[in-house]
Amino acid sequence: MVMQSQNQNNPILTNKRAFKGIPVIDLSCPDDAKHLIVNACQDYGFFKVINHGVPLWLVSQLENETMGFFNMRQSEKDKYCPPNPLGYRSNTIGTNGDVGWIEYLLFTSNDFPTNSKTFSSVAKEYVEAVRKLGCEILELVAEGLKIEPKNVLSRMLSDEKADTVFRLNHYPPCPDHRPTTNGRNPIGFGEHTDPQLISIARSNTTSGLQICLSDGTWVPVPPDHTSFFINVDDLLQVMTNGRFKSVRHRVVTDKLKSRVSMIYFGGPPLMEKISPIGSLIEPGEESLYHEFTWFEYKSYGYKTKLADDRLSFFHKGSHPLSEKDKTVAKEYVEALRKLGCEILELVAEGLKIEPKNVLSRMLSDEKADTVFRLNHYPPCPDHRPTTNGRNPIGFGEHTDPQLISIARSNTTSGLQICLSDGTWVPVPPDHTSFFINVDDLLQVQKCKE
């Protein structure tokens, strides 16, 4: 029997001739660098910089402090795990069910609460140094693209309200290193693009990072602990009207060595409006993206799963509803919102709480955070019950996080609810009625009474 080695499965080799390696940009020659950077951003959305000016002692000091933190006992590290996605976390990435063989510290601008004063101040100094490097690179991008003024991109990172994220990742050696069913090593950080403008990453000497080329093949990035790797992120793809590619990347684990990476994500101020830069829209071309604020993009993006294509939601050609359908949807949502208010007023009256609009006002507020969802569950041909004896799942069990949800379905059954004793009961469909769910916030409101 011939055993297939992992490399034989690996599409990188089939494409080896086409890919010439990760572009290396020497920042000590800015005149060459600006053109090379533009090419790299167009071809791969990824490149490495050398002679970057960030002191290596600062980089090593931060790596030492970082390992000092991750080497602490689990119970100590768990103390830095606040109820939001910032701070220390292990195994979970984001808040939407993604997991990885990883532990990390996640910080937002200028605030690096850690176990030691030295660690926090070294992190601060490091972020300031890489932010400057980010500005330098974005100015070279502007020069290379001939866009004026040359700080049009970099000013978003230097703005005092810039929304910076800083992340320290630790991927411990992964002992159970059997390749998964698709022949790949277990995942440390699943495939994704970074939502910001640019990301600046430095790792230790352990490999694992891979980037996805435009033809869909994945290539490993040879580690280089003295250099920085630069990613084009989603916003830069939008601002260049798709000329630059936001690079899809992932990290696979190593069986023996632990990997540490430190990544600065350069985001603009939350209220910054993002749209393609006029001079980059070629004659005869159209703006590919709707205008949005970074706040809107981030709020949407942080509700998605890691691997999702967040940009497609803001892509002009791909709005799922026609103009006519959008008007109908708007009218429908407005009618349901009114129904929701009426029900919440009846709830207030029933509970004898005053004033009677105490709940309903939250839906009628002009800033109310409404979500509207249209689901389609195609017939599922492979309808063998799963191992637990149930039919295949269309939408897994959950509670809705809002105040109330108002649902209508066609005549196909499928919805089930869980009773307080844990039994599941089917909801007979009724396409002329609405079904009302008590959501998480209404449960909390009620407990407060």
Ligand X SMILES: C=C1C[C@]23C[C@@]1(O)CC[C@H]2[C@@]12CC[C@H](O)[C@@](C)(C(=O)O1)[C@H]2[C@@H]3C(=O)O
Nearer residue to ligand AKG within complex by CB, 253 or 405: 253
* Residue 330: CB minimum distance to ligand AKG, A: 36
Tokens standing for residue 261: 């990476």
Nearer residue to ligand AKG within complex by CB, 135 or 168: 168
Segment 136 to 165, residues that bind ligand X, using CB under 6 A:
165
Query: Distance between CA atoms of 248 and 216, rounded to whole angstroms?
Result: 9
**Residue of the chain from 114, 164, 169, 405 that contacts ligand AKG (CB under 6 A):** 169
Tokens standing for residue 334: 């407005």
Tokens standing for residue 205: 């000497």
Segment 193 to 232, residues that bind Fe ion, using CB under 5 A:
194
Instruction: Give which of ligand AKG, ligand X, Fe ion, none residue 359 binds (C-beta under 5 to 8 Å, depending on kind).
Output: none
102 with 170: CB under 8 angstroms?
Answer: yes
**Residue of the chain from 198, 201, 238, 363 that contacts ligand AKG (CB under 6 A):** 201
Nearer residue to ligand AKG within complex by CB, 268 or 276: 268
Give φ, ψ of 232 to 5 degrees: -75, 130
Strands across the sheet with 209-212, in order?
A: 187-192, 249-252, 209-212, 218-220
Segment 167 to 196, residues that bind Fe ion, using CB under 5 A:
194
Category of 309 on φ-ψ map: left (φ > 0), alpha (ψ -120 to 50) or beta: beta
Query: Does residue number 304 form part of the binding site for ligand X (CB under 6 A)?
Result: yes
Answer whether the bond into residue 223 is a cis peptide, omega within 30°: no
Tokens standing for residue 24: 């290396």
Of 215-223, 302-310, 346-354, 379-387, which segment contacts ligand X by CB under 6 A?
Answer: 302-310
- Give the residue closest to ligand AKG by C-beta: 261
Among 174, 189, 173, which residue's Cα sits nearest to residue 250? Answer: 189
* Residue 26: CB minimum distance to ligand X, A: 27
Which residue is catalytic, options 89, 243, 250, 259?
A: 259
What is the residue type of 37? I
Query: Distance between CA atoms of 245 and 261, rounded to whole angstroms?
Result: 22
Of 187-195, 275-283, 383-391, 414-422, which segment contacts ligand X by CB under 6 A?
Answer: 187-195
182 with 226: CB under 8 angstroms?
Answer: no
Of 143-151, 201-209, 210-218, 400-408, which segment contacts ligand AKG by CB under 6 A?
Answer: 201-209
17 is catalytic: no
247 with 232: CB under 8 angstroms?
Answer: yes
Query: Distance between CA atoms of 337 and 346, rounded to whole angstroms?
Result: 14
Query: Distance between CA atoms of 328 and 313, rounded to whole angstroms?
Result: 20
**Residue of the chain from 34, 52, 170, 192 that contacts ligand X (CB under 6 A):** 192
Instruction: Give which of ligand X, ligand AKG, Fe ion, none residue 297 binds (C-beta under 5 to 8 Å, depending on kind).
Output: none
CA distances from 208 to 92, 218, 242, 258 (A): 18, 12, 28, 10
**Residue of the chain from 129, 263, 277, 336 that contacts ligand AKG (CB under 6 A):** 263
Query: Does residue number 233 form part of the binding site for Fe ion (CB under 5 A)?
Result: no
Segment 92 to 111, residues that bind ligand X, using CB under 6 A:
93-94, 96, 98, 106
Nearer residue to ligand X within complex by CB, 223 or 266: 266
62 with 123: CB under 8 angstroms?
Answer: yes
Segment 339 to 368, residues that bind Fe ion, using CB under 5 A:
none
In the chain, how long is the greatest CA-to-CA distance? 77
Instruction: Give which of Fe ion, ligand X, ligand AKG, none residue 200 binds (C-beta under 5 to 8 Å, depending on kind).
Output: none
Nearer residue to ligand X within complex by CB, 139 or 171: 171
Residues 234-273: x where in contact with ligand X by CB under 6 A, - otherwise, as a string: -------------------------------x--------
Place of tokens 């020069």: 143
Query: Does residue number 251 form part of the binding site for ligand AKG (CB under 6 A)?
Result: yes
151-155 — which CB contacts under 8 Å span 24+ positions?
152/277, 153/197, 153/236, 153/239
CA 84, 87, 92, 94 dihedral sign is positive
403 with 441: CB under 8 angstroms?
Answer: yes
Instruction: Give which of Fe ion, ligand AKG, ligand X, none residue 240 binds (C-beta under 5 to 8 Å, depending on kind).
Output: none
By CB under 6 A, name the binding residues for ligand X: 85, 93-94, 96, 98, 106, 165, 167, 192, 194-195, 265, 301-302, 304-306
Using CB under 5 A, list all residues that contact Fe ion.
Answer: 194
User: Where does this chain bind ligand AKG (CB under 6 A)?
Assistant: 167, 169, 189, 194, 201, 203, 209, 249, 251, 261, 263
Catalytic site positions:
259
